[in-house]
Every structure is written in C-alpha cells, then in structure tokens.
Amino acid sequence: MAVRRPASSVVAAGTTTFDALGVPADMVAALASVNVLQPFPIQAATLPDSLAGRDVLGRGRTGSGKTYAFLIPVLARLAAVAGRPKAGRPRALVLAPTRELATQIEASAAPLAKVLGLRTLTVFGGVKPGPQITALKAGVDLVIACPGRLADHLQAGHVRLDAVQTTVLDEADHMADLGFLPVVRRLLDQTPDDSQRLLFSATLDAGVDVLVRRYLHDPVTHSVDTAQSPVNTMAHHMLHVRAESRLPVLVDLTSAPGRSLVFTRTKRAATRLTRQLVAAGVPAVELHGNLGQNARTRNLDAFASGTVTTLVATDIAARGIHVDDVGVVIHADPPVEHKAYLHRSGRTARAGASGTVITLMTDEQVADVRELTRKAGIKPTVTRLQPGHPLLAELAPGDRTLVPASAAASAGGGGGRGGEPGGRGGGGRGGARRPQRTATARTGGGARTGGRARPERRGSSTGSTASTGSTASASSTPSTSSSGSAAAFSAGTKAGRRHR
C-alpha cells in the first residue's frame, strides 16, 4: 500500500534548496553548473524519499520538472559508489516511451554525468545497433532506453539488468497507452527485486496501477498536481474559423516572432501542412512517425536552435518535445482525446514560463471541442474570426515576417524515411543536409543523434545508441520580406483518420 502524503507536504518552487532536501554537495555543484539552482515542487516533494532509497510514485503534469526529480537521485546514487561499470551490466535504468523523450532525458543527464564522471547511453531503434552494442560492452553507468530496443539487446545477450540499482519509469501512463506494459514487465522482471524503483506519470490509469502494485515496494506517493490541473500561466483560446480560413490563420500565427508548435492528427496532414507553410514563406519542419531517425534529428535540432521557428508534429511526438521558449502551441486539428490535448498543450508554459494554446475549429468540430475542453478541465476563450482579425496579433504578437519559399525550405532539416536523407515522405524539401552522426557512449553523454517518437517495438531490425536534445533560446526568423495577406492560399488540411 502506497504511503500518501498530505497535500501540505508539497513545497512550492523557490521556498527550499537542493542542499536542504539532502542532495549531496557534488550533485548540487553539478546542478549549479547547468544553472539548476532551486527545486520545482515535484522535485522538492520527492527528493527526500528518493535520495533515501525509497520507492517513489510521482504524479505531476507534463512540464512540472519530473526529469530532474528522478535524475538527481539516480546520478547521486551512482556517484556515491566508486569504480567503473562492468561490461554489459548498467547500474541504473530509465525507461521512456518515445525516442524523443529518451534523448531529451539524456540531454539533461549528460552535463551532470560529465561532472560526476559517469557514462550514459541511450537505447532505441532507428539506426544500426553496432555502436550501441560496443558501448554496452565497454560499460555504462546509466542506460536511458525505449523498451523494445532494450528487450532486443537483452534477448541477444548484449546486456544484463541484474546489476541495476535504480529503475525509473518515466511517462508510465503513456507507456500504457502505447501498449508497452508487457515488455516493460519483462524488463523489470530482470532487475533485482530489492532494487529501487521510481515511477513518474501524469495520470494513474489502470495499467500504471498494475505496475505500481507489482514492482514498487511500499512506495511513497507524491501528487503535486494532476494532468487536468489548469496552468495559471497558460492561456487557452478556441478560434472558430471557416474551413477556407484555416490555413491563412495558421500562416498569420506562425509568421509572428518566436517559436510555435503546430499539431495535426495524422502524419500525412503534418507533411501537407508543413509544405503549405513553407510555400507561404514560413520556415517550418515536420516531426512524426514516418520520418527516419536522421530526419527527425535534423528537424528537431533546427527547431531547437531557432533555424526554423515552426514545428508541425503529430500526437505521437507530443511527449518527447522539450524545447525552451515555445510561446504558442496550435492545435491545427483538435485532438480526439482530452489527454492528448493536455500533453500537446504542455509543450508551452513549461517550468513556470507562460504560454498560449490555440485550437482551430470549424463548424462541424464545435461540439467535439466543447466536450474535449470539458474533460480537460479548462475554460477557454472562444472567438469566431476570419483572417486579419486583431485577436491574432494579440495571441502571437510582433511583426509578421515571411521569406521566399526556397529560403523557408532550406532553413529546415529535410525529411526522409528510414533515416535516409532526402528519402520519401519528408517535408521542408530542399533543406540543407547535416552529416550523419554515429552514436556512441561517452562520459556524461554520447554522440548527438535524435529519435523517432514512433513507439519502439520488439523485434525491430534497427537500433540506436544516442544522446541528444538541444534546447536554445528563441531566435528571430530569418527574413527577406514582410508578409502580405495569406488569403490566397488554399484551405488547410482536413482532420482525417486518427493515424499518427
């Protein structure tokens, strides 16, 4: 039975310090080196128990700071024991549902691990498995993995989990949604029964509860907030538009300064909308399950670095996108489920920042969107408008800037299937190609690569060893001309079948 602490035990951000929570001095110094100086509520609530070796069940909405909440105790425990890791026997394991999320976790872990002299490795499909196998044989302290690829290596004998001291399940509810629970259970069965287990989730659905009952021993549960908790710094707007106005409104919003993240329901819609935005003069790239590993890396890097300021993604990528300063999230296609709405929206207003969430809806979508917001527990501002409405300038302030389509396309990272540059299915055509980078383990990280957010499936023929995840402050869009009216552009994509 989980020990449930009263809500009064939750500490507000900025009211305590890592030292006061019991974080070791070398870890405090490592955190300071990356400008992490004060704990967020989920960290303040969970760290005393996780540092003490307790099993912890942490519940908090996306963007609440869960990554450092589990990385701090994991790395602190590893650093407390001297010696190099043994070949093929990592000492700590983090399981994540998507490739993007795994690489973003490693991006947070890498600088801390480097200071502490620890070796980390990411494991997921999408590139050749050879470099990863080599890294495992050389020995790594922390493996951050998607379940399917790790299960492949376990079955092939490239890795054993009997030396794992701490296992973390991140975004456990999303793992359940993606059908990962059987393989997750097989992996957990290979870790020592008396090892520490930390589970972090936005919700505690039935599938997550099964994991808690089976694998966590007398866990302490900390619920800082739930997935439905409204975010005070997040403004929700529903824009009721005509179908033919959809694309001009999107061009208006995405041509404003700053980063915008646009979600569609389908992979095909993401590709089509990206090409429409590029044709309209908006530097944009896409991110979805049809893109290969290298294309995903280039596109996400371009968005994170500010080379392009608009990323068009599907729901499957919603949990893995952790980029600073995303000012606007736009639901070009309203999602089907309220949980998808919340996780999409959680890409902005992260870690105390403010943000705006905009949903476009046509006449036939009004009833569905009304039900969606009711289940999500939000009360949006609803406005019926046409292109040129003054509210658009309020939601995405600043001078609109469009560039020639050729420049908008070359700013992106291109597309491609199976990791082949220029392959089929890519958006941002004609983009400059970055050299392919081979992934290896390293002290405090590894060679930078990206990951597809497509669910990892056991038995996949490809693998990945990577560490990546760049975040950067927003930069202005390269410009050569100011925008005119976008009304001449064709109507936007229609919501199709729920394929991601």
CATH number of the domain where residue 44 is located: 3.40.50.300
Same domain (yes/no): 242, 98: no
Structure-token pair, residue 69: 């909440």
Q: Which of helix, strand or coil describes residue 261?
A: strand
CA dist 37 and 31 (Å) reads 7
Same domain, 251 and 193: no
Using one digit for the tens of pLDDT, what is the confidence trace for 414-452? 555 443 333 333 333 333 333 333 333 444 443 333 333
Residue 206 pLDDT: 66
**Residue in 320, 314, 310 with CA at minimum distance from that of residue 288:** 314
8 Cβ contact list (under 8 Å, min separation 6): none
Is 284 a residue whose pLDDT tops 50? yes
The listed range with the strongest mean pLDDT (131-140, 369-378, 485-494) is: 131-140
Torsion of CA 273, 274, 278, 282, to 10 degrees: 90
**Which of 408, 437, 466 corresponds to the end of one domain?**
437
Instruction: Write the DSSP assignment of 370-400 as a string of letters.
Output: HHHHHHHT---EEEE--TT-HHHHHHS-S--
Q: Which two tokens stand for residue 40?
A: 């967020």
Give the rounded distance of the alpha carbon of 410 from its chain centre.
25
Interatomic CA distance for residues 5 and 41, integer angstroms? 14
The CA-based angle 252-255-256, given to 5 degrees, is 95
Is residue 450 one of the residues assigned to a domain? no
pLDDT number for residue 62 = 59
Please report which confidence band the pLDDT of residue 399 belongs to, taking 50, 70 and 90 as the band edges.
very high
Rounded Cα distance, 6 and 1, in Å: 15
| Residue 415 CB neighbours (<10 A) | 29
Examine residue 45 and state whether it is found in any structural domain, yes or no.
Answer: yes
Give CA–CA dist 129/124, Å, rounded. Answer: 9
Over residues 32-54, mean pLDDT: 93
In this prediction the pTM is 0.65
Q: Is there a contact between 465 and 128 (Cβ–Cβ < 8 Å)?
A: no
Position 286 in a domain: yes
Q: Are residues 271 and 201 in the same domain?
A: no
Mean pLDDT of the chain: 78
- Give the C-alpha separation, 500 to 489, whole Å: 25
Mean pLDDT within 250-267: 94
Three-class secondary structure of residue 96 per DSSP: coil
- CA–CA separation, 89 and 92 (whole Å): 9
- Indicate whether 19 belongs to any domain: yes
The predicted model gives 107-119 an average pLDDT of 94
**Confidence category of residue 209, pLDDT binned at 50, 70, 90:** confident
Q: Collapsing DSSP states into helix, strand and coil, what is residue 273? A: helix
Give SS3 for 180: coil
Range(s) of the domain holding residue 255: 234-437
Evaluate whether residue 46 is within a structural domain.
yes
Q: Does 212 have pLDDT greater than 80?
A: yes
Tell whether the model's pLDDT for residue 371 goes beyond 60: yes
Distances (CA, A) of 445 to 89, 103, 106, 160, 468: 17, 10, 7, 20, 8
What pLDDT, on the 0 to 100 scale, is given for residue 321? 65
Indicate if 299 and 170 belong to the same structural domain: no
10: Cα within 13 Å, side-chain hemisphere: 17
* 239 shares its domain with 343: yes
Average pLDDT over residues 387-397: 94
- The confidence band for 316, taking pLDDT boundaries of 50, 70 and 90, is low
> Is residue 132 domain-shared with residue 163, that is, in the same domain?
yes
The DSSP H or E segment spanning 221 is: strand 220-223
**Cα-to-chain-centroid distance, residue 243:** 30
Asked if residue 477 has pLDDT above 50, the reply is no
- In the predicted model, what is the mean pLDDT of residues 212-240? 77
Choose among 413, 405, 447, 453: nearest CA to 276.
405
Do 66 and 143 share a structural domain? yes
| % residues pLDDT > 90 (the chain) | 50
pLDDT on residue 161: 98
Give the per-residue pLDDT at 229: 44
**pLDDT surpasses 50 at 125:** yes
Strand partners, 482: 401
- Tell me: do 285 and 153 sit in the same domain: no
Output the pLDDT for position 411: 73
Orientation angle between helical segments 338-345 and 366-376, nearest 10 degrees: 70
Structural domains counted in the chain: 2
3-state secondary structure of 260: strand
| DSSP 3-state of 203 | coil
- Please check whether residues 217 and 244 belong to one and the same domain: no
Q: pLDDT band at 32, cuts 50/70/90?
A: very high
Three-class DSSP category at 480? coil
Asked if residue 497 belongs to a domain, the reply is no
Instruction: Provide the phi-psi class of 495: left if phi over 0, else alpha when psi is between -120 and 50, else beta.
Output: beta
Quick check: 120 and 444 in contact, CB under 8 A?
Answer: yes
Q: Is the pLDDT of residue 479 over 90?
A: no
**Which uninterrupted H or E stretch holds 310?**
strand 310-314
Q: Are residues 212 and 256 in the same domain?
A: no
Which helix (H) or strand (E) covers residue 69, if one does? helix 66-79
* Pair type for strands 401-402 and 481-482: antiparallel
User: Which of 228, 257, 277 is the last residue before a domain boundary?
Assistant: 228
Residues 41 and 178 in one domain: yes
Q: Give the pLDDT band of residue 467 (cuts 50, 70, 90).
A: very low
Query: Percent of the chain beyond pLDDT 70?
Result: 73
CA distances from 296 to 179, 234, 245, 318, 497 (A): 23, 28, 30, 14, 23
117 and 75 together in one domain: yes
Helix, coil or strand: residue 359 = strand
pLDDT at 367: 92
* pLDDT attached to residue 267: 92
Quick one: average pLDDT of 68-89?
93
Residue 193 has pLDDT above 60, yes or no: yes
- pLDDT at res. 73: 97
Domain boundary among 185, 201, 228: 228
Residue 233: band (very low, low, confident or very high) from pLDDT cuts 50, 70, 90? low
